[in-house]
Structure formats: C-alpha cells, structure tokens
Structure 1
Amino acid sequence: MSENSDVDKKSMKKVLFINSTPKPMENSITLQMAHNFIENYKSVNPYDEISTLNLYEENIRFLDLDNLNQMFSKDPEKIDFVHYTKQFVEADRYIIAAPMWNLTVPAILSAYLDYANVQGLTFYYTATGAVGMLGGKGKKAVLISSRGGGYSEGKWEPFEMAERYVRKQFEFLGITDFQLVLMDWADVLQGDELDRAKKLSMENASKAGQNF
C-alpha cells in the first residue's frame, strides 16, 4: 500500500445518505439530484464510506409513550432506537434527500430526526438553554430537495418549512455548515422549460457534490 493511500484512508469520512422519499429514482427529481450529487462526491472522495438509510425500508416510527419514558430515563442504552442515534453521531457528512410535501418534509424524516435528538448524546441543557454536542467537529450537511411550486422568494417564501426545519434541526445539534441543492417549480414547468430546469438542477447537484 502506498504512503498516499495511508494518508487518504486516515482522512476517510463517514457519509450518511438519508433518503426520505418512497419514489423510485425514475419518478423522483429529488433522488435523481441526490444520485448526481453522490456520484460526483465519490469521484472526489473515493475512500469515504457512504451508508444509505432508505427511511421507508427502516423501522422508523413516531415517538410513543415508551420512547419518551426511555428518553427521560437519561440512560440512552434503554432507548429502542439508540442505534440510529449512534449512527447519526458517528457520521461526518449528511446527505438528506427530501422533497417538499405539504410545505414541509415527509413525516418519516421528521420522525427520524426525532431519533437524532437525544439528550446526552447529541445535545444537553444548561441554565441558558440547549447546547448541541456535534459542533466543532467539521461535520457538514446538505439537503437535496425538489418543490412543486416556488418558495424561494415572494409571497410564498414564508410558507417554506422544509429547508428551515431541517437546517434548524442540524443547527440545534451544533452542525452549522449546511447547504441546499434545490429545484423549484417541478410541478408547474412543462415541456422544454421543465427539461431545462431539470438539466440545470442536475448540473448544480453535480457541482455541489464535487465541492461538498
């Protein structure tokens, strides 16, 4: 093994790809952008370890009374879903594929992010408020998303609660290096306009992946 290979492997990052759409790739602009992003990321970071969580194939459930009792016991090992929390903590990079549904993210992503919010593992409380435990470690996150309409500016911008929600969840845990790869108007544009918008979105995803 060459000296360069040793250096590359020592700098290897753990990447967690969180897919929150049930659609197959051929029917999902979000997944197509995510695919372009990841393939270009891998071309620049060949030694990084990428783990995929297809949330609809996982045992992701809304928090129930048992979960809450486990969380408030302050013993993380008693929490049914703690393996998801630990996997989240161990990641260096987060790639989240999430279309906008009804102004926000798919509910299954919200349920999964509940698993990431565990006192003592990802945040703790002080007299002045919560402190995220994942900051200062060089962690980065990117949200890859498509929206049926336009929510980036104008009167509909305040209704956007997908990027806002995910970004603030990561900031709460201490991860402030957060990017967005986006396609707006996916359900409005037609014909050549739609094709051009998709092409530009795929190119943007590819460039973002190379620089992530």
Structure 2
Amino acid sequence: MSRVLIIESSARQQDSVSRQLTQTFINQWKAAHPADEISVRDLAIDPVPHLDANLLGGWMKPVEQRSDIENASLERSNQLTDQLLAADVLVMAAPMYNFAIPSTLKAWLDHVLRAGVTFKYTPTGPQGLLTGKRAFVLTARGGIHAGASSDHQEPYLRQVMAFIGIHDVTFIHAEGMNLGGDFQEKGLNQAHAKLSQVA
C-alpha cells in the first residue's frame, strides 16, 4: 500500500480546472490502486500562514527560549512535514496565478522545506532527503506557457522537488483555459490524455 498526498491550492472551489484534474487523478488512481491511502490537504479551505518570525523562531531557538506562538508555529510545520514524509506520492494541483504558483502553495512549501528534515547541507552542497518518492503537478493555465519564458511554475517546482530529493516529477498542464473555443478544448483533452497514463 502506498500513501498519496494531494495538495489543492486553487482559490476557487467551483469551476476550478485544477480541482477537476485532481478528481480525475483520484478516480483513476483509486481504480488502479484500490488499497492505497489518499489524503487531501486543501490550502484554500485551510490555508497555511506565510513564513514569519514566529516560524523561524520555532525552528531556530532552543526549546526553553521559544514563546507559545513559536511553539505553535513549529508544531504546525511539524504536522505538515510529517504528512509529506509519510507520503509515497505527492500531487500538487496548482493553477497559474500571475505566471507562478498560488501564494498558498508557496507558504506550504516554506513550511516543509526544512534543513535537517527534508534536505541537509553537506560539504558538496545541499542534499535532498526525500528520495524514492514520486510527484505529479496538475496545472491549469489561462494562456499557453509550457516551454516559454513566462512559465515560472514548472522550473521552480522542479527545482524545489529536486532540492528535497524528489526527481521523479510529472507535469500535466491544462493550457489555454481562458482562450476559449478550440484552445480550451484542446488543452483539457491533452491534460486528460496524459492523466489517463499516470495510474
């Protein structure tokens, strides 16, 4: 049995293309892997605070010097990180907002990219500690950005995943969602065709 962790980040609950892709992924994964455990964390419903001095204090201060709020910030980060560590497969659903990922997803990443936990520093540079995991990124984009300089999603998330040791990363882009007509239909068809090969 594998554990699948899904991170939703669309600000919309209704009419969200990335959420539609997520549901398709879940249905197909369950059909192929009925014994697997799937957990969903919805960052729109339960957002993670942005990185702040309280979280930094929780990470860096000795326990006897931490305030109550720093301890609470550390505990939240521990819960999020433990959930990621326990997962065998990570799925991030990320609509493109202003050429990048939603700020809620960035905040989640800021909680789980932790020195000594998900990566470590070595004399030859940082080394990821989450080897052996797979990741899938489901994106929805108003325009067409794959391979263009306007795409700040895929390069960033590939680098972040590699930084923590996840090198098996598959991107599934639904592009042209705001262009209407044939562009939207083609983008959805291509995304669903790639999704059908995932499970």
TM-score by length of 2: 0.88
Unaligned runs of 5+ in 2: 64-69
The offset of 1:179, in angstroms, is 0.3
2:75 aligned to 80, 85, 93, which one? 80
Residue pairs, 1:101-116, within 5 angstroms: 101-116=97-112
Residue in 2 aligned with 1:204? Answer: 194
For the residue of structure 1 that corresponds to 2:44, the secondary structure is helix
CA distance in 1, matches of 2:42, 2:86: 18
Residue in 1 aligned with 2:129? Answer: 133
Aligned 8 A contact 2:92 2:138 in 1: yes
1:90 aligned to 81, 86, 102, which one? 86
Question: In the superposition, relative to structure 1, how do residues 147 and 85 fare at CA in structure 2: closer, same or farther (>3 Å)?
Answer: same
CA distance in 1, matches of 2:133, 2:144: 29
Q: How many residues align?
A: 190
The offset of 1:128, in angstroms, is 2.2
The offset of 1:57, in angstroms, is 1.9
The offset of 1:74, in angstroms, is 7.3
TM-score by length of 1: 0.83
The offset of 1:185, in angstroms, is 1.3
Aligned residue identity for 2:184: L
CA distance in 2, matches of 1:146, 1:124: 32
Question: In the superposition, relative to structure 1, how do residues 199 and 39 fare at CA in structure 2: closer, same or farther (>3 Å)?
Answer: same
CA distance in 1, matches of 2:187, 2:56: 44
CA distance in 2, matches of 1:175, 1:128: 18
The reply on whether 1:142 has 2:136 as its aligned counterpart is: yes
The offset of 1:80, in angstroms, is 3.1
Aligned 8 A contact 1:100 1:147 in 2: yes
Aligned 8 A contact 2:47 2:104 in 1: no
Residue in 2 aligned with 1:23? Answer: 12
Residue in 1 aligned with 2:185? Answer: 195
The offset of 1:192, in angstroms, is 4.6
For the residue of structure 2 that corresponds to 1:52, the secondary structure is strand
Aligned residue identity for 2:12: K
The reply on whether 1:175 has 2:166 as its aligned counterpart is: yes
The offset of 1:197, in angstroms, is 3.4
CA distance in 2, matches of 1:88, 1:74: 24
For the residue of structure 1 that corresponds to 2:19, the secondary structure is helix
Unaligned runs of 5+ in 1: 1-11
CA distance in 2, matches of 1:63, 1:122: 17
Aligned residue identity for 1:134: L
Percent identity between the two aligned chains: 31
Q: Deviations over 1:57-85 (max 9, x none)?
A: 2240011111112212377x951321111
Name the structure where helix makes up a greater proportion of residues. 1
For the residue of structure 2 that corresponds to 1:80, the secondary structure is helix
The offset of 1:51, in angstroms, is 0.4
Q: Deviations over 1:16-66 (max 9, x none)?
A: 0100012124x1111111211121111110000000000122240011111
CA distance in 2, matches of 1:42, 1:176: 24
